[in-house]
Structure 1
C-alpha cells in the first residue's frame, strides 16, 4: 500500500514536471570536468553553491538532473556522464590503484556503448577524452594537481564540453534514453518476474532498492526502506536473493524512491516529531493540501487565519473550499507516512490513508479539545512538537521526547482515538519536576505549569476521561464545576496570590514548596496552606483582605463537608491530578486577565 501510493505520487509529480522523468535522477555535483572538442581536459571548475549554516557560509554540492545513477553496493558499476573521480578520472585516495583503474575502464566502456553511434561534436569529444586519458599519468596533469584536494573530497563530476553540460546535448540525451529504455538500469543479468507493486508481468526486478535520504537520524548517504540482506529477513527458501525475495520492478523501485526523496527534500512536505520524520501528500500532488495540513499542525505555511477558518467551515459541511482560486476537495485522498531510523534501514512508524476532510476534521477536533485561555503572544493552535517537547527535561542537552511518544501521539490524533497515557503521565511528571525559571543568558524561560502542558491535560481529560469530565471543564474557569480536585487547584492559585500580595518580593512561594504534594495528597497539605493564608491576610489592607476572603469562602463552599473525617481527599487519581493542574492554571490566567482589565 505504501509503495503503491508513492508510485502513484511519482506519476503525478512526473506529469506536473516536479521530478525528473524516467531514466533521469538527482545527483550532488561538486565539479565540472571541462573538455574541448578534441577531448582534452582544459579545466576543473567548481559546481558548488554557497549556503548559510547558522552564521557561517558554506559551500555544498549542487543537485542536478543527470542520467539515473546506478545503485552500488561493492561491485564496479559506472554512471553515464556524471560520476565520482574514480570513474571519471581514475583518481582517488582509497589505496587500491588496480580497482580504481577498473572503475575508469568500466566508465569508458559504458560511454562507448552508449555514444559510439552518435555523430555530434560533443559525443565524439567525450569518447576522445576517455580514449586519450591515461590513468597512470592522471596525477601528473596540472589541472588534477592544482585541484587534487577538491577532487579527493568531491562527490560527483559532470562532463562539460566547451561550456555546455553533456546532459544538455539533445543527441546525447536521446542516446541515453534509448539505452535506458532498452536495458532498464543496464543490468544484463536482472531477474524478470511479476512486480508486486504495479502488477505487471515479466518486469526486471530490482535487486537493490534506491537509497532514501532526509530521514532524521538515518545515514546521511541514504538508507533503505526495502532491503533483504540477511536470512532473517527473507521468506523460506529465498535466502540470499535480496530484492527477489519480494519482487518489485526496477521501474516501481525508481518511482517510489524518487517520490519519497522528493517529499523528504521539501520542508512543506516534511515535519520532524521526536525521532519520527513525517511526510504527507495528496493524491493529485496539489500543494494547497499540505499547506493547509501544515497550518492545522500548528505551523505557518502562509495561509491566513481567516482563510483557514473558511476552509475548515467548508470541510465541516462536506463541500469544497476555495483558496486563491484553487479548489480544496474534502474527498481528496490524503496520505501521512511516519518514518524512523533503524540502523542502515528505515522503519515505518505509521501510515494513514484517508480523505482530506476526515484528516482535517480529526486535527480540528484535537485542537478544539486543546483550546484553552492563554497569553496574547501564544498561538491558538498548538504545534504537535510543542506537546512532545513538554514531555522532555528542558535541562537535558537534546531536550528530545521519548522516540515512542511521537508515533503513538500522532496515531491517536489522526484516528481520533484515546491519547497515549504515556504522554499524559510524562507531562504530569514534568510538572512535578520543573520549577519556574526566568529567561536568562540566552536560555528560555521555564514554566512549571505552562499553557501547552495545561492544554494537553485538558484535551486528555475530555478524550480519555470523557465520562467523568465532559461538561465540567471548559476553555476558561468553570465557576459551576464543584469537583473537589478542580476546586482545590483553583484554591491553590488563590492561596498563592494571597502570599504574593502579602510578600511582593518573596523568592520562594508555596508553589515551589507545596504544589506537588497539594496535587497528589491534598489532605496533608491544605490545612497548612490555609493556616499560612490567615497569617498573610493579616498583612493586607482591608479592601484586599476582604476580596481574598470572599474568594476563599466561595471556593471553600464548593467542598462538601462529610459527616465524619476531612472533606479533603487523602489522594488524587491521575485524572484528578490533571484536573487540579487545570484548575490552578485557569484560575491563574483569570487573575492575569483581571490585572490587564484594571490597567
Structure 2
C-alpha cells in the first residue's frame, strides 16, 4: 500500500468520527474576526487568540478550504484570507506602518463579487457591501490595529454567534464548489482506481518542523525536470481532486501540534506521524496510543515508563502484544511516516507499513539491545529514540544537533528490525573521544546495541556482555577494564585531580593500546606504592594481575571501531561495578575528591 492510499483510507476513519474537514473545508489558524453591520460597515474587531498562555496563540477554525498559491497571479480564498487579500493592507518590507496590496485585494473582491452575486442572505449581503465600500486607508482607524497585519481574517454579522462561513447559505456555496469550468479533466485516479477531476495542484501540508510556515507540498511537479512526456503539473501522476483532498486533510489532521498521532518532538529533522487501520475505532486508538508511548516515553510518568519497559521485556521474550494488550486486536495494520523539510517540498525520510505485532517486536528488540547494567544515569526504564540520540551523538546533548541523516537511518533500523547504521557506532565513539563522559552510560548503551544487533544478524562472531564479565575473552573489553582499574588507582592515590588518565588518554588507549598502556602501567607503580604505604588498595593490584593474565604480552597496535566500542563497554562495566561490596572505600574516595585540592600527576 502506498503512502497516499494509506492516508486516503485513514481519512475515512477520521470522517466517521467527525475529526476531519469535509471536502471543500480545511482547518486554518485565526486570530481576528471583523464584525459587520447589515449595511456592510465594520463595527468591531473580535480577538480570537487563545489567551490561556503567556503568549497569545492563534486558534484553529474550519473554513472554506485553502489551496496552494504558486506563481505571481494572486488567487483569493473564499470568505476569509490574509489582510493583504481581505483588506488590501500588508506589512512593509522595511519600517513601520502598512503598505497597499492592491493586486491581492482586487483578486479577493473579484472572487466574492462573482460568487456572492444574487445572494439574499443578509450575512453574505453584508460582506458584499463591505467589499464595495472598503478602502485600505480606513485601516488606520479604529477598531483596526497593526497586530492584524498579514493575519488571517474571517467575518461575522453583528448580533450573531456564527461566523459568515458557518451560515447555511455560505455552506451551500462552499459545498457547490467553484464554477464548472475551473474543474480539471476526468482521469483514472492512481490512488482510488476511480475516475474523477484531476488535481492540477496537490494540497499544501502544514506543521512539518523546519518547513515553510505556509506549508509545503508532498507531491508537486513545478519544474520541467519533473515532468514526463510533456505532461504538466498533476497530469504526471493523475490523482483525482477528491482523493488529493482526502489524503491532504488526513495528513494535516495528524500533523496538528500536540495531536495523538504525532511524535511530540522531531527525530533528527523528521516530523513523525503514525496511524492504525482497524475496523473498530477503539482498537485503532489503542494501537495509536501504544505506539505513541513506545516512541515518546519521556512524556509518561515514571510508573508508566517502567510499566512500558516491562511490557517490552515481555514481548522481547516471546509474548505477543495481543496477549499483553487485549485491546489491540491481532492483525492490526500500522503505518509510520517520517517527513523532512526540503525548501518548498517535503522529503519522505522513511515510510513503514506492517502489522502492529511486528512493530512491537522490533521496538522490544531495540529496547533489549540497548539494555546495559548498571542502567545509564536517568535511563528511566524506556528512553525515547530522541533522548538516546541526543545523549550519545549530539554536540552538547542538544536535540537540534542530532545528525538528521543518522536519525533517519536509526529509525529505519528500529522499525524494520535491521542492523543499526555503522555511523551510529562511529558517532558514539567520536563523542567519547571528544570528551563526553562514558560513565553516563548512554554512549555504551548505544555501542552495545549496535554490536549486539550485528551479532544477532551473524555479522559479528562475539556477543557483547550486558554486565561486568571478568572472564570475557575479548581483548578490547579487558583493556577497557584495565584502563578503569588504572584510573581508580590514580584517583585513590592522589585524590581529586584536575585531569585523570581518562581525560588525557582515553581516546588514544582505546585506539592504539600498544602505544599507551606500557606508559600507564609504568605510571601506576607509583600509585600502587603509595597505596601500599597507606595500607589500602590491595584489591587493585590483584585486579590488575587478573586482567593482565587474560591479556597476551603483544598488545594490539590499533583497534578497529567495533573493538573501540568494546573497550568503552569494558571500561564502563569495571568503573561501575568495581566498588561493589566495598562501600567504605567508595565513600572514602568520594570524600577525598570533594575535600582535597586538585593536583595533577
Match of 1:451 among 441, 445, 451: 441
SS in 1 for 2:152: coil
Alignment of 1:231-246 (within 5 A): 231-238=224-231, 241-246=232-237
Correspondence for 1:163 among 160, 164, 171: 160
- 1:443 is aligned to none
Q: Cα gap change, 1:321/1:75 in structure 2, threshold over 3 Å: closer, same or farther? A: farther
SS at match of 2:327: strand
Q: 1:28 touches 1:63 (CA, 8 Å); kept in 2?
A: yes
Q: Residue in 2 aligned with 1:439?
A: none
Residue 480 of structure 2 is matched in structure 1 by 489
Residue 63 of structure 1: CA displacement? 1.0
Residues 538, 200 of structure 1: alpha-carbon distance in 2 compared, 3 angstrom cutoff: same
Give the 5 Å matches for 1:212-223: 212-223=205-216
Segment of structure 1 superposing worse, 290-299 or 523-532? 290-299
Cross-structure match for 2:541: 549
Cα deviations across residues 84-143 of structure 1 (Å, max 9, x unaligned)?
334444555553535523422322322336xx2x6xxxx22321441364446453488x
Cα offset, 1:421, TM superposition: 1.1
Q: What pairs with 1:1-150 in structure 2 (closer than 5 Å)?
A: 1-50=2-51, 52=53, 57-73=54-70, 74-92=72-90, 93=98, 95-97=100-102, 100-112=105-117, 116=119, 123-131=121-129, 133-135=131-133, 137=135, 139-140=137-138, 144-150=141-147
Tell me what 1:296 maps to: 294
Q: Give the CA deviation at 1:170.
A: 5.5
Q: 1:490 to 1:528 in 2, by over 3 A?
A: same
Aligned to 1:589: 576
Partner of 2:277: 283
SS of the equivalent of 2:55 reads: strand
Unaligned ranges ≥5, structure 1: 435-445, 561-565
How far residue 32 of structure 1 moved from its aligned partner, in angstroms, is: 1.2
User: How much has 1:333 moved relative to structure 2?
Assistant: 0.8
C-alpha change, 1:198 and 1:288, in structure 2 (3 Å) is same
Shift, 1:483, TM fit: 1.6
Task: Report the 3-state secondary structure (helix = DSSP H, G, I; strand = E; otherwise coil) of the residue aligned with 1:359.
Answer: helix
Cα distance, 1:13 vs structure 2: 1.0
CA distance in 2: counterparts of 1:136 and 1:382, whole angstroms:
57
Q: CA deviation at 1:288?
A: 2.7
| Contact 2:109-2:131 within 8 A present in 1 as well | no
Cα distance in 2 between the residues matched to 1:595 and 1:215: 53
Equivalent in the alignment of 2:256: 265
Provide the rounded CA distance (Å) in 1 between the counterparts of 2:581 and 2:460: 26
Residue 522 of structure 1 corresponds to 513
Matches within 5 A, 1:200-599: 200-201=194-195, 203-238=196-231, 241-267=232-258, 268-271=260-263, 272-284=266-278, 286-297=284-295, 299-302=297-300, 303=304, 305-306=306-307, 309-310=310-311, 313=314, 316-318=318-320, 320-321=322-323, 327-373=327-373, 374-375=375-376, 377-390=378-391, 392=393, 394-395=395-396, 400-434=401-435, 446-448=436-438, 450-466=440-456, 472-541=463-532, 544-560=536-552, 566-591=553-578, 593-594=580-581
CA positional deviation for 1:545: 3.0
Give the C-alpha shift of residue 299 in structure 1. 2.1
State the alpha-carbon separation in 1 of the partners of residues 572 and 181 from structure 2. 65
How far apart are the structure 1 equivalents of 2:252 and 2:427?
34
Q: Tell whether the 8 Å contact from 2:123 to 2:164 is kept in structure 1 after alignment.
A: no
The 2-side partners of 1:462 and 1:224 are apart by 40
Alignment gaps of 5+ in structure 2: 91-97, 588-601
Label 1:339 to 1:470 Cα distance change in 2 as closer, same or farther (>3 A). same
Task: Tell me how far apart the structure 2 counterparts of residues 311 and 160 of structure 1 sit (CA, whole Å).
Answer: 56
3-state SS in 2 of match to 1:58? coil
Q: Distance in 2 between matches of 1:311 and 1:395?
A: 30
Instruction: State the number of aligned residues.
Output: 563
Q: CA deviation at 1:196?
A: 1.0
Distance in 1 of aligned mates of 2:44 and 2:413: 58
C-alpha displacement of 1:62: 1.6
CA distance in 1, matches of 2:397, 2:446: 22
Preserved CA contact (<8 Å) 2:377 2:440? no
Q: After superposition, give the CA deviation of every residue in 1:228-261 in whole Å (9 maximum; x if it has no partner).
A: 01110111221xx211221111111111111111
- TM-score (ref. length: structure 1): 0.86
CA distance in 2, matches of 1:314, 1:549: 44
Are residues 393 and 524 of structure 1, via their aligned partners in 2, closer, same or farther at CA, if it must alter by over 3 Å? same
Quickly say closer, same or farther: Cα 1:16–1:553, change in 2 above 3 A. same
| Alignment partners' CA distance in 2, 1:366 and 1:307 | 13
Question: How far, CA to CA, are the matches of 1:141 and 1:243 in structure 2?
Answer: 40
